[in-house]
């Protein structure tokens, strides 16, 4: 049976990542034909986000049907002062990594029974 795959790209904030993961768990429990890949990036502003992502990534309690892609960390932003400038630069830096991750996922799905049915992108990432 072919699985449809959704790719979730949450904003790297605590509540955004937690809710994305909870929605993902709910959806895969509802339909076994669905798999979800969550593209995650650690926030340079909130260590709680990094801790949560690390726990998800190393957790054996992650439900079947949910995959995680962890993007490289960005540590080049410490020289900026204004938070709006920092966040804008952070998101620009991550665009290339997100594009590469999704492209790689699409290529790898060419040989597997799944297909990417949609991208769910957090509005703050656009």
Instruction: List the catalytic residue out of 16, 54, 57, 64.
Output: 16
Which of 124, 90, 95, 126 has its CA nearest to residue 11? 124
What's the predicted TM-score (pTM) here? 0.81
Q: Is 97 a catalytic residue?
A: no
Which pLDDT belongs to residue 47? 78
The confidence score (pLDDT) of residue 112 equals 59
pLDDT at 113 over 60: no
| Helix boundaries (H) for the chain | 14-30, 47-58, 83-108
Helix (H), strand (E) counts: the chain: 3, 4
Q: Vertex 124, ends 120 and 126: CA angle to 5°?
A: 70
What Cα–Cα distance (Å) separates residue 57 from each residue in 17, 40, 95, 124?
13, 10, 21, 23
**Alpha carbons 122 and 34: distance in angstroms, whole number:** 20
* Active-site residue identified among 31, 54, 64, 122: 122
CA distances for 33 relative to 6, 45, 73, angstroms: 11, 36, 32
**Domain coordinates of the chain in residue numbers?**
4-125
Please state the rounded mean pLDDT for residues 7-29.
92
Would you state the torsion angle of the CA atoms of residues 88, 46, 20, 35, taken in this order, to the nearest 10 degrees?
90
Does residue 102 have a pLDDT over 80?
A: yes
CATH of domain 4-125: 3.40.50.2000
CA separation, residue 36 to residues 14, 47, 53, 75 (Å): 19, 25, 16, 28
Instruction: Give the model confidence (pLDDT) of 36-72 as tens digits.
Output: 999 988 877 777 888 888 887 776 666 788 999 988 8
What residues are paired with 38 via a beta bridge?
Answer: 8, 68
């Amino acid at each position: 049976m072919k699985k449809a795959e959704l790719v979730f790209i949450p904003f790297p904030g605590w509540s955004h990542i937690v809710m994305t993961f909870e929605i993902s768990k709910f959806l895969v429990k509802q339909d076994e034909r669905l798999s979800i890949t969550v593209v995650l990036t650690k926030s340079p502003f909130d260590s709680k986000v990094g801790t949560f992502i690390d726990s998800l990534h190393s957790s054996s309690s992650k439900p079947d049907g949910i995959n995680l892609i962890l993007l490289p960390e960005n540590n080049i932003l410490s020289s900026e002062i204004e938070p709006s400038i920092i966040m804008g630069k952070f998101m620009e830096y991550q665009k290339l990594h997100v594009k590469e991750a999704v492209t790689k996922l699409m290529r790898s799905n060419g040989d597997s029974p799944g297909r990417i049915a949609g991208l769910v992108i957090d509005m703050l990432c656009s």
